[in-house]
Amino acid sequence: MKLNQNQLFKAQETLEDFKVLLTRYHQVKDDKTKLKSFFVRNRNPLFDLTNCKFYKTGLISEGAKKLDKTELVDDHYIQRSKGIKFVFDELEKDPNMSLGVFISIVKKYSSTVKLSKEEHSKVTSFTKKNPTSLNYEIYSECGIQVEGLSEII
């Protein structure tokens, strides 16, 4: 699976936006409150960018396999506001990052797996009580098994 021209354009524009935002990232990096706000404000471009088949892993939880497609949701195995942190950490190391590298980083930190709506609800509740945990770490705590996810992470 490849990105089409429009998706590549969106990825390139997002990369250019993030390169400009790198200056702001440096300014807020040591202020926990401002840094969190920065990540939350800038997570939506990742959602817009990754809302296509290219960023779907094709992995599905064991509990979701038995259900109708209408009962399933795409879950970012790393929450977007945490995924954006990883993206900016990588961008900071390589401020002249190429589009290809950027796309691979976004794919690594912002892809999705299929969960049942019920499983997704459990994960959401758990993350509210454990805000430092990543979704994929929480899956086992909630009894959710996603075969093949450990190979991706």
Q: Give the model's pLDDT for residue 153.
A: 86
Q: Give the model's pLDDT for residue 27.
A: 98
Q: Give the model's pLDDT for residue 25.
A: 98
State the helix-helix crossing angle for 80-93 and 5-28, rounded to 10 degrees. Answer: 80
CA atoms within 13 A on the CB side of 39: 17
> pLDDT tens per residue, the chain (153 residues)?
799 999 999 999 999 999 999 999 999 999 999 999 999 999 999 888 998 999 999 999 999 999 999 999 999 999 999 999 999 999 999 999 999 999 999 999 999 999 999 999 999 999 999 999 999 999 999 999 999 999 988
Domain that includes residue 86, residue range: 5-152
Count the domains in the chain. Answer: 1
Q: Give the model's pLDDT for residue 4.
A: 95
Q: Give the model's pLDDT for residue 1.
A: 74
Q: Give the model's pLDDT for residue 140.
A: 92
Where b means 16+ CB within 10 Å and e means fewer, 52-66 reads eebbebebbbebbee
